């Protein structure tokens, strides 16, 4: 059975529109809502994190990501596995006290012992920090850091929030379920 051209093309346009809608609005992706409510990446949205050279990420089901690093971060400067915050989020967080949280644990297969968190800004402002190391456990734990960012003097600041999955650089695995930033004031 053949579909007539007058029916085929409107159906294709409708199907394309539905796919675009799903791609843009499906899930709880980052940069949605009010910056006052915080920044959260979790679940399937973890698959959208950026992987720097030397790091790997694969989803473990729909709620967690397995991450690895093949060398230490001091061997090659890097942002690790990271997300960026720009626009209203970055401008709103300048001059504020923030709590940064990574929910993670050592993975069951080839577990890493330690991982690192970094919080960097462009342009550089007081309150950003380089790699801080944390010991991993077998259970999910919220690893928290508090910092106060200075006010940005640029109109278009960018915040980089990343982790280095294996502080020892031996290809150890960690399992991550959430990146979040919460304003405290």
Domains of the chain with bracketed CATH: 31-183 (2.60.120.260)
Q: pLDDT above 90 covers what percent of the chain?
A: 44
Please name the residues in contact with 119: beta carbons below 8 A apart, sequence gap of 6 or more: 100, 128, 129, 145, 147, 159, 160, 161
pTM of this prediction?
0.78
Alpha carbon distances (Å) from 129 to 117, 119, 124, 132, 171: 9, 5, 10, 8, 24
55-85: pLDDT as tens digits? 999 999 889 999 998 888 778 777 889 998 8
Q: Following CA atoms 39, 127, 176, 63 in sequence, which dihedral angle do they give, to the nearest 10 degrees?
A: 0
pLDDT single digits (tens) 33-50: 678 888 899 999 999 999
């Amino acid at each position: 059975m053949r579909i007539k051209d007058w029916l085929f093309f409107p159906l294709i346009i409708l199907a394309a529109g539905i796919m675009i809608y799903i791609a843009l609005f499906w899930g709880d992706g980052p940069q949605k809502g009010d910056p006052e409510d915080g920044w959260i990446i979790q679940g399937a949205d973890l698959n959208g994190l950026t992987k720097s050279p030397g790091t790997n990420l694969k989803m473990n089901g729909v709620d967690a990501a397995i991450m690895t690093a093949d060398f230490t971060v001091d061997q090659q400067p890097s942002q690790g596995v990271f997300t960026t915050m720009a626009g209203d989020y970055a401008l709103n967080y300048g001059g504020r006290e923030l709590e940064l949280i990574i929910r993670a644990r050592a993975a069951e297969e080839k577990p890493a012992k330690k991982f690192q968190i970094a919080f960097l800004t462009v342009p550089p402002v007081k309150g950003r920090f380089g790699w801080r190391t944390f010991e991993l456990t077998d259970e999910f734990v919220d690893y928290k850091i508090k910092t106060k960012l200075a006010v940005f003097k640029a109109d278009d600041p960018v915040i980089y929030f990343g982790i280095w999955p294996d502080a020892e650089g031996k290809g150890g695995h960690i399992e991550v379920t959430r990146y979040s930033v919460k304003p405290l004031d």
